[in-house]
Chains A and B, each alone.
Chain A
Amino acid sequence: MITTALRMLLGDKTKLLGLIFGVAFSTLLICQQVSIFFGLLGRASSVVNDVREANVWVMDPSVKTIDAPFPLRDTELGRVRGVEGVAWAVPFFKSTVQVRTRGGNLETAIILGIDDATLVGVPDTFIMGSIEDLAQPDAIAVNPAGFRLLFPGSELDLGRTIEINDRRAKIVAIVDASPAFAANLSIFTRYSLATQYTNNGRNQLSFVIAKSADGEDPEAVAAAIAQQTGLKSVTSDQFRIESIMYILANTGIPVSFGTVVILGAIIGVAIVGLTFNQFIMENLKQYAALKAIGVKNTRLLAMTVAQATFVGVIGYGLGLGAAAAFFSNTSRKVDALRGFYLLPEVAIGVAIAAVVIVFLSTLLSMRRVLVVDPATVFRG
């Protein structure tokens, strides 16, 4: 009877397409929105992710996110270095600046100042140039998306200069930095240069990044730093989570994305529910005839579930494929959307959502099949 059920469904191509569209649309919308949401959350902690050498971050006690640092006194660096269990500690600067592009537009950039001596804090992967090049005068490294913002239509190359607060900066490297939350242009330079570019005053130390000594627990070292300096000190993992939680708690992003996701699910339930209900209503007399012949409710239920499963699997597959195609294209071609991926966890979560959508949509229709009176077939 399962084959019969599927043939019934395949025979009504208009409704079949409507049903598949409903599930595919919901899947695509939910996959896309949830993936972008998680991508944005990832961006909230991208700077922390890119500083792989350090595992402890020290900051002013009022700081809640990587994107809103409060300056520390320069002397704090020495105090952190003096804590037992700290292998090394270096300064780390983070701020935003306005950069004039070749076309005359102003672009907001995040500027990250790394330790002049060790150059710790720059991302691992250099697409062009090398970490040693940052030791040159006025040297900066930018991310590819930032380069394309500065020089639209140009291929990536080195040696170009830009102005940051009327100071010359020369691009000596292109680094594969994770996309940041606050801006698409990320500039890496030496700490001393970064403070000159921003010219924010005397105390400019945003963070102290440190590494726990071999065999030391990073959490214990972070706690020791906090206790001995009175500063806030957390591990990289803790800071990553804090930064994400700050975005969740202090922006409209979760509500905005949550609303779209819920609307996507509701639209899916509405389209699939109405279409499936119409399909069942049009075949209700035939279902009654099947009941009269002797087909039991359990068998009819199995037929309905088979139809719903068929629609769900095809619709989910198409929706997931469309979402994957979207991210596959945009993450490579659109710099602003770089770093947004279709995560396997999202695909699994949306599969569960699709099951719920299809189940809710078919619930009413299933009930109609179960309660239809077989005697109606004799009523003309």
Chain B
Amino acid sequence: MATQIEHSPEPVPAEEHPLTVRCRGVEKSFGEGQTKIRVLRGTDFDARAGEMTFLVGPSGCGKTTLISVIGGILSCESGEVDVLGSQLNRMRNSRLADFRLANFGFIFQQFNLLPALSAAENASIPLVARGESTRKAERAATELLQKLGLDGHTHKTPAQLSGGQQQRVAIARALVHQPKLLICDEPTASLDAASGRTVMELLRDVALEEQRSVIVVTHDNRIFDFADRIAHMADGVISKVEDTNQHKTRQRAGEE
């Protein structure tokens, strides 16, 4: 199904920030027969390196399904899902898991930290999963946690941390292995306004400093000002992509 995308008047030129995610005509359904629900209806979506792309829309419009497909967690029925130059829908599950571990960082709404592990241990998981020694991985995780303002909290378990601190641990876990694409699902939904903004500032500073691509699914309009682009989704398609010019503003500030 063709998707009509309404672009903002002054889009950032594609050549400035290469595409990291390119979805075209993505279809995904759940259920069978009469209960079958078409969630993605030929969705087109792009995300670029060094940019924060927000994916917004009402509940049930397909945001979560789309990031699950982009994240290689769900497979689509048809269409192209090109992420970092690889066609995800042509990969086997085992290869997909390796690809995710090598290239993706995930931040979840509920943090999903392991309750028995310390902040440093939680944050080190992707490195340990990639075969790094526990000690080396925890050292790298501790450095990142300190950078995220959790100095002195690295040995604490999630239960001993506030919601904002837990989300920072989740950010560290998502970034510790230097992924190229960060996928965030409602990262501020469980946080108060102040903590939410702090988390987004950290996310922007740490995630974008190495030209990572960040996709944020959110309902929280208090943080829309952090977005470089906002993709509006409705009924399984991207209805509008809005350039917030944040990127240009940051770039100008950097030049000055």
**Contacts from A to B (Cβ < 8 Å):** 1, 3-4, 7-12, 283, 285-286, 288-296, 299, 374-375, 377-380
Q: Are A8 and B134 in contact (CB under 8 A)?
A: no
Asked if residues B112 and A12 are in contact (CB atoms below 8 Å), the reply is: no
- Contacts A374-B73, A375-B74, A378-B67 hold; do A283 and B114 have CB atoms under 8 A apart? yes
| A interface, over-half SS | helix
Q: Are A294 and B102 neighbours in the complex by a CB distance under 8 Å?
A: yes
A366 to chain B, nearest CB (A): 18
Counting chain A CB atoms within 10 Å of each CB, the highest count among B98, B100, B173, B186 belongs to B100
Q: Across the interface, which residues of A come within 8 angstroms of B115, CB to CB?
A: 11-12, 283, 286
Known A-B contacts A8-B117, A11-B116, A283-B114; the reply to A294 vs B126 at CB < 8 A is yes
Pick the contact of B68: A285, A295, A375 (CB < 8 A).
A375
Question: How far does the Cβ of A278 sit from chain B's closest Cβ, in whole Å?
Answer: 14
Contacting pair B108 A378 (CB below 8 A): yes
Q: Is B106 on the interface with A (CB-CB < 8 A)?
A: yes
- Count of B residues near A, CB < 8 Å? 34
Residues of the A chain whose Cβ atoms lie less than 8 Å from the Cβ of B116: 7-12
Q: Tell me whether B112 and A295 are in contact (CB under 8 A).
A: no
Q: Which residues of chain B are near A283, meaning CB under 8 Å?
A: 114-115
Tell whether, in the assembled complex, residue A293 and residue B94 are in contact, meaning their CB atoms are under 8 Å apart: no
Q: Does B239 contact A (CB under 8 A)?
A: no
Q: Is the CB of A8 within 8 A of B110?
A: no
Residue of A nearest to B115 (CB): A11
B187: interface (CB < 8 Å): no
**Nearest chain B CB to A290's CB is how many angstroms away?**
7
Q: Mark B137-170, 1 if CB is under 8 A from A, else 0.
A: 0000000000000000000010000000000000
Q: What 8 new A-B contacts, CB under 8 Å, besides A7-B114, A299-B129?
A: A3-B128, A4-B117, A11-B117, A286-B114, A293-B173, A294-B97, A377-B185, A379-B64
**Residue with the greatest number of chain A CB neighbours at <10 A, chosen from B106, B112, B185, B186:** B112
Question: Is A380 in contact with B109, judged by CB distance below 8 angstroms?
Answer: yes
Task: Indicate whether B215 reaches chain A with its CB closer than 8 angstroms.
Answer: no
CB distance from A283 to the nearest CB of B (A): 7
Q: Provide a sorted-by-A list of 8 A–B residue pairs whose CB atoms are within 8 angstroms.
A: A11-B157, A286-B115, A293-B126, A293-B173, A294-B100, A295-B101, A378-B67, A379-B64
- CB contacts (< 8 Å) of A11 on chain B: these are 114-117, 157
* B32–chain A nearest beta-carbon distance, Å: 17
Question: From residue B175, how far is it (CB to closest CB) to chain A in Å?
Answer: 12
For residue B104, which residues in chain A have a CB less than 8 angstroms away from its CB?
A: 293-294
- In the complex, the chain A residue whose C-beta lies closest to that of B69 is A375
A380 and B117 within 8 A (CB): no
A10, B157: Cα distance in complex, Å: 13
Residues of A within 8 A of B113 (CB): 286
Contact of A295 among B102, B129, B157 (CB under 8 A): B129
CA distance A24 to B112 in the complex (A): 32
Distance in angstroms between the alpha carbons of A247 and B126 in the assembled complex: 61
Say whether A290 contacts B129, CB under 8 Å: yes
Partner of B108, one of A3, A289, A296: A289
